[in-house]
Structures are given as structure tokens and as C-alpha cells.
Structure 1
Amino acid sequence: MAADVLITGCLIAAAVVAGVTGRPVRRRLAALSVRARRRRPAPIRAAAGLGGLAVAVVVGGWPGLVVGCAVAIALDRLLRRLEPAEVRARRLREVADLPLAADLMAAGLRAGAPVDRAAAAVAEAIGGPLGERLVRVARSLRLGAEPEEAWVHVRGVAGAERMARAAVRSSASGAALAGSFVRLADDLRADRAVATEAAARRAGVLIVLPLGLCFLPAFILAGLVPVIVAVLGDVL
């Protein structure tokens, strides 16, 4: 029994490590393609298989085989829905840099720079994953791509769809693009402030239950136990 528990623990630990880390995650980040992100990476399949094997070892027999297969399938689906830490950090930095990028784009356009040069300058200034996207936008514009095709590189960033729409609308109608970018930056900062306030309020609500569970044993020991002991002492 002890050996089974030890084997199970090792398998579960290996499953967690294989599911959270792995080279395919870095390859997906480098590729930045939808097809690569939708592909089922090998570490996730390995993690699901190890988890199912651990359950099969604990249960044993044919029931263990059936339950292990079910657990492996469930783990595979669950792990594929989890966002790796590197992907999450990249996404959060893109969202954080977007208001500054919009302000810098507006400043460059007001200074008289064309859109492609302004995008290249902003990409060099902010760097990071959003800078890489803006570099691709600038290169596409310089190669003569249509604005719809060039600005598609930033549409994976939350809030950047409005930047792309403003650029496309400006190229079609001739409207001033700098003002649109300034308003976009203000709107993004306002949205972030609202989201931060909502998260703080939600955290205050979610912390009520853990605090209640912490105070419940003290209440039982300090309030109910003495009363019960006194009553039992009088009765007995």
C-alpha cells in the first residue's frame, strides 16, 4: 500500500510538472500563430496519461483501468484550458502597454510622422510583446499592405481592436487618427480603473467565507464548549 501511494505521488508530481512547463509552450510563444496555440501539446497528453495511470494504480483491476481512462480524458481537457504562466504574463504586459502605445502613436502622428514610422518608433520605445506586434504592423504598411491586413497583427490584444478599427477608418475616410488614439488611451485607462475597483470589491466578498471558517473553531471552543461542559456537569 505504501509503495502504491509513493508511486501515485511521483506520477501526479510528474503530471503537474509536465502540464505546467514544457518546450511546446515556448515554441507557441515564438510562433504566435492560432494553429500552434490550438495544437494539442505533447506535455499535456503526457500529464493526462500520468494522472490516469496514477488513478488506475490506486484503484486497481478493471475498474481502475476504466476510471483511469476517464481521469486521463478529463485531465487532458482541463489542462488544455489552463493558461500557462508565460502566456498570461505576455498577455498582461500587452494590455498594460497598450494605453502608452496609443499615446505615443498619437504624439508621433501629430509630429508629422507617417503611420508606419510612428508604429516602428513606438515599437522600439515600448519593446515587449506589444512592440513585436507593432513592428509587424509597421513592416506590413511599408510593404504596401492594406490597413486591414497590417493592423490585424494587434487584434489579439484586448482593447487593440479599437486601435485597428480607428486606423482602418482613418485610412478610408481621412479622419484624424491622433485624436482617436488619445481617446482610446483615455478609455483604456478608465476601463482598467473600473476593472481594478471591481476586482477589489470581489476580493472583499470572496474573503468572507475563509475568515468565517477561521473564526468558527474559536467560536465553538470559546462559546459553545464551556456551555456544553457546564450543562453536562450539572446533569451528571
Structure 2
Amino acid sequence: MTRLVDGPLGWVAGGLAAVGLLRWFQRLGEEPERQRRDQIVRDLPVVVDLLVACLRAGRAVDDALDAVADAWPGPVSAFLRTASAQLALGGEPHAVWHHWGADPALAPLARAFARASRSGASVTTTLEHAATELRQVRRWSGQARARSVGVRTAAPLGLCFMPAFILIGVVPTVIGTFSAAVL
């Protein structure tokens, strides 16, 4: 045991252990953020549909954001409340949407609002197109994940079947070849 932690081998082992622990701690910190982002991506098409319904009913944008934040709990509601408060206090819409665009999960919604406010187009039409686009992107990513399952399972299946192939196919052939050569 002393040889493992003593000398150059110990320095290498300690360095590898430190790097491994550092990566493990980094992953622990990234997991909640990844889960939050995944939840936002899952919820966003429905949230956009609710926003469209509120806006079609005649609510102002900040009121619609508040109503949807009340109706849809989750990580999206915090952003909706913040944007609603900024707009209600007279915040510049471009600044509010630009702030939202910094979050990659909320960027499609921010782009839709910014596009509508910049061009003067109907917010509801722009949001409907954004919801359709979000659903399409989610469908494509799901199909891509489904297609990649075969590739990701090839190595584990190969590792499971390789010993059986060697024991059943290769070893008897080699034994037969050597036993025939010896006789």
C-alpha cells in the first residue's frame, strides 16, 4: 500500500483521483440545471398555447404572462412572472425579451415576442408559429434519440456476445485445429 501512494506512481494516482473527483462534483452541479432546462423544453409548447389563448381572450401581454404563470407551475413560471413584472413596470419590451433570450431553453419564446414587437405583427400569430416550431423540434429530437438507440446499444451487446462467440465458435475451432495437427 505504501508503494501506491509513495513516489511518482502516487503522484499520478493522486492526480487522477483529483481529476475524477473534480469531474464528479462538476456533474453534480450540472444535473439540476439540466433537469430544469429539460422541464422548460417539455413545458414550453403548452405554455405558449396558454399564452395564445389568453392573448386571444383580450388580455394584455403582462396579464397573460401572469395568468399562465399562475396556471402552469414549474421553472417556466418564474420567468413568466419576471417578464410580466418588468413589462408592468414599463420595461422596454426589447430589453425584456433580450434578457429571456440569454437562456437557451427560453430563447424560442423570447425570439417570438421580440419578432412580434419589432415587426408590429400579431403576437398570437407569431406565438402560434413558435409553438408549432417547438413541437416540431421536440419531435425531431425524439426521433433522433430513438434512432441513436441502436448505435448506443451495439457496444454493450457486442461485449455480452463476444465471450460466447469466442467460447462456442473460436475455441472449439482452435482446439480442433491443434488436435488434428498433433495427431
Give the TM bin, normalised by the shorter chain.
Answer: 0.7 to 0.9
Aligned to 1:26: none
Aligned partner (choices 105, 122, 132) of residue 51 of structure 2: 105
Q: Which has the higher contact order (CA 8 A, sep 6+)?
A: 2
Output the amino acid matched with 2:67: A
Q: Which runs of 5+ in 1 are unaligned?
A: 5-56
SS at match of 1:175: coil
Matching of residue 131 in structure 1 with residue 100 in structure 2 = no
- With normalisation by structure 1, the TM-score equals 0.67
Aligned to 2:145: 199
CA shift, 1:153, in A, is 4.8
Aligned to 2:35: 89
CA shift, 1:162, in A, is 3.0
Q: Distance in 2 between matches of 1:75 and 1:144?
A: 49
Matching of residue 185 in structure 1 with residue 131 in structure 2 = yes
CA shift, 1:116, in A, is 0.1
Output the amino acid matched with 2:173: V
Output the amino acid matched with 1:117: D
Output the amino acid matched with 1:195: S
Q: Deviations over 1:99-122 (max 9, x none)?
A: 111111111111110000000111
- With normalisation by structure 2, the TM-score equals 0.84
User: Does the CA-based 8 Å contact 2:49-2:128 persist in structure 1?
Assistant: yes
CA shift, 1:152, in A, is 4.1
Q: Distance in 1 between matches of 2:10 and 2:174?
A: 46
Matching of residue 218 in structure 1 with residue 164 in structure 2 = yes
Aligned to 1:118: 64
User: Does the CA-based 8 Å contact 1:136-1:150 persist in structure 2?
Assistant: no
Q: Distance in 1 between matches of 2:169 and 2:80?
A: 64
User: Does the CA-based 8 Å contact 1:58-1:64 persist in structure 2?
Assistant: yes
SS at match of 1:112: coil
SS at match of 2:58: coil
Q: Distance in 1 between matches of 2:166 and 2:25?
A: 43
Q: Distance in 1 between matches of 2:41 and 2:14?
A: 40
Aligned to 1:27: none
Aligned to 2:23: 78
Q: Distance in 1 between matches of 2:59 and 2:6?
A: 70
Q: Distance in 2 between matches of 1:165 and 1:224?
A: 60
CA shift, 1:217, in A, is 1.3
CA 1:65–1:225 in 2, change beyond 3 Å: closer, same or farther?
closer
Q: Which runs of 5+ in 2 are unaligned?
A: none
CA 1:84–1:173 in 2, change beyond 3 Å: closer, same or farther?
closer
Aligned to 1:227: 173
CA RMSD of aligned residues (A): 2.5
CA 1:159–1:215 in 2, change beyond 3 Å: closer, same or farther?
same
Matching of residue 162 in structure 1 with residue 108 in structure 2 = yes
